[in-house]
Amino acid sequence: MKRFLSIIFASIVFFSFYSALAQEGNRLRVRIYSESNNISEATIASSFGSYQLNENSIKRQDKINLSVSNGKILLKLNDQEQGSFDTVRFTSTDLKCFFQVAPTNNKARRYDNDLEITLTKDKKSLKFINVVLEDNYIAGVVQSEAGGASNSVEFFKVQAICCRNYMKRNLHKHEKDGYNLCDCVNCQVYFSRANKEQVVEGAAKSTGEVIVDKNDKIIETLFHSNSGGQTVDAKDVWGNDISYLKPVEDSFSVGQPNYTWEKEISEKEWLNYFKGKGLDVKDYNTKQELLNFSQTEGRKAKIFDIPLTQIRKDFKLKSTYFTVVPWGSNVKLKGKGYGHGVGMSQEGAAKMCEEGYEYWQVIEHYFKDVKIKKQ
Ligand SMILES: [Zn+2]
């Protein structure tokens, strides 16, 4: 009987330990303020819940100040010096805690979970690492990148899965620097924790879900603002054939805020540009083609041999999906869409969700031969 009870007791201990772990989830190390290498002083504070400062309990109203001093971090608590450290840890006591960090020369921001502060290699600036639960990070990114685009939970589920795919593919991107990802466009923009209810719900409801291709590999979830009614083959933009980044008809982007654009360029500048690329612009047929280039029947990749992606870059156009019309001494470019046009149209996805489509239908519309998998 005693033995039986101890087995029961051991199982209870084991399962409560296991469920605590499961609840914890995976944590990421994300460098915040990664573009600022000149933060010599900052304050931190709990915004919600109790925190520990280097293993010591602190109170909500405590004032914590960090500054760079002689190659170390000088720590002050309520204006009292606490010593100099290589690393300062601001650790939450439960999963709901969030904090505020305010560098003296930068905007204050709020983040979930924990903060680790060290110095940059040159020992001149504070370096902040947010040690954060994956879903909190995902929600923060979705809010930073697309929080204003919709109020639909379904749309934020789509965005959350796309961000999760990027995260999973790039976990080792900054490994040699001691963290997984940074907070700027070079990874994914992460300028705060999420406080918009629908965003948090979208991240939580899609937890663990990723998009895989027909070989079960996590796909690159490229997106843009508006496809103009037809998405682009990745091959036409970057030269490599990717099975899930193929052109699709996209009526959902039609009529959305970034659906059309126009730009006038003087005829002389337009023709000179192509002359500079080696075309004989005095030739009647060549000139007519350049002045009346049309994509009304669908997207093209080139004008003669010149990639539209190059023309887009050189004339700073919103997209490569334009038709040329002679306009007095100018040409008028009548364009559709905004962005590179590959993968998912954000405005189209928002429209689909508004119309009642489910998140997996949106994903299957924009990415070919893929499926959603729970990891
Ligand atoms: Zn980065």
Paired strand residues for 266 = 330
CA distance 290 to 274: 8
Q: How many CB atoms lie within 10 A of CB 71?
A: 11
Q: Could you tell me if residue 242 is inside a domain?
A: no
Report the candidate in 157, 142, 164, 194 with the shortest Cα–Cα distance to residue 26.
164
The per-residue pLDDT for 375 is 84
Residues 121 and 32 in one domain: yes
Rounded to the nearest angstrom, the distance between the alpha carbon of 129 and the centre of ligand 1 is 13
Residues 160 and 115 in one domain: no
CA distance 365 to 247: 11
Rounded to the nearest angstrom, the distance between the alpha carbon of 30 and the centre of ligand 1 is 9
Residues 31 and 109 in one domain: yes
Rounded to the nearest angstrom, the distance between the alpha carbon of 363 and the centre of ligand 1 is 25
CA angle, corner 227, sides to 135 and 208, nearest 5? 15
What single-letter amino acid sits at 260? T
Number of domains in the chain: 3
Rounded to the nearest angstrom, the distance between the alpha carbon of 145 and the centre of ligand 1 is 15
Give the DSSP H/E element, type plus range, for residue 98: strand 98-103
Q: Which mean pLDDT values do the consecutive 10-residue runs of the chain (375 residues) have?
A: 51 43 72 95 95 90 94 96 96 95 96 97 96 96 92 96 96 95 94 97 96 96 96 93 96 98 98 97 97 95 96 98 97 97 96 96 97 93
| Total residue count of the chain as it appears in this document | 375
Rounded to the nearest angstrom, the distance between the alpha carbon of 127 and the centre of ligand 1 is 14
Rounded to the nearest angstrom, the distance between the alpha carbon of 186 and the centre of ligand 1 is 5
Q: How far apart are the first and last CA of the chain?
A: 41
Residues 116 and 42 in one domain: yes
Rounded to the nearest angstrom, the distance between the alpha carbon of 108 and the centre of ligand 1 is 21
Q: Could you tell me if residue 189 is inside a domain?
A: yes
The per-residue pLDDT for 12 is 46
Rounded to the nearest angstrom, the distance between the alpha carbon of 31 and the centre of ligand 1 is 8
Q: Could you tell me if residue 173 is inside a domain?
A: yes
Residues 325 and 271 in one domain: yes
Rounded to the nearest angstrom, the distance between the alpha carbon of 181 and the centre of ligand 1 is 5
Q: Could you tell me if residue 246 is inside a domain?
A: no
The per-residue pLDDT for 21 is 38
Residues 124 and 45 in one domain: yes
The per-residue pLDDT for 61 is 84
Residue pair 52/91 in contact by the 8 Å Cβ criterion: yes
Note down the domain range covering 72. 27-133
Report the candidate in 22, 342, 97, 358 with the shortest Cα–Cα distance to residue 206.
358
Rounded to the nearest angstrom, the distance between the alpha carbon of 35 and the centre of ligand 1 is 10
Q: Could you tell me if residue 252 is inside a domain?
A: no
- The DSSP line for 187-237 is S----S----HHHHHHHHHTTTEEEE-TTSPBP---EESB-TTB-B-HHHH
Residues 146 and 219 in one domain: yes
Pairing status of strand 181-182 against strand 27-32: parallel
Residues 56 and 154 in one domain: no
The per-residue pLDDT for 55 is 84
Rounded to the nearest angstrom, the distance between the alpha carbon of 107 and the centre of ligand 1 is 20
Rounded to the nearest angstrom, the distance between the alpha carbon of 267 and the centre of ligand 1 is 42
Residues 45 and 103 in one domain: yes
Rounded to the nearest angstrom, the distance between the alpha carbon of 238 and the centre of ligand 1 is 21
pTM of the model: 0.85
Domain boundary among 105, 133, 161: 133
Residues 80 and 161 in one domain: no
Question: Per the structure block, which two tokens stand in for 225?
Answer: 């603002």
Rounded to the nearest angstrom, the distance between the alpha carbon of 169 and the centre of ligand 1 is 13
The per-residue pLDDT for 88 is 97
CA distance 142 to 139: 5
Domain boundary among 75, 99, 133: 133
Q: Could you tell me if residue 243 is inside a domain?
A: no
Residue pair 300/246 in contact by the 8 Å Cβ criterion: no
Q: Could you tell me if residue 14 is inside a domain?
A: no
Rounded to the nearest angstrom, the distance between the alpha carbon of 282 and the centre of ligand 1 is 48
Residues 178 and 208 in one domain: yes
Q: Could you tell me if residue 117 is inside a domain?
A: yes
CA distance 344 to 364: 10
Residues 100 and 145 in one domain: no
Rounded to the nearest angstrom, the distance between the alpha carbon of 319 and the centre of ligand 1 is 26
Domain boundary among 133, 153, 168: 133
Rounded to the nearest angstrom, the distance between the alpha carbon of 167 and the centre of ligand 1 is 11
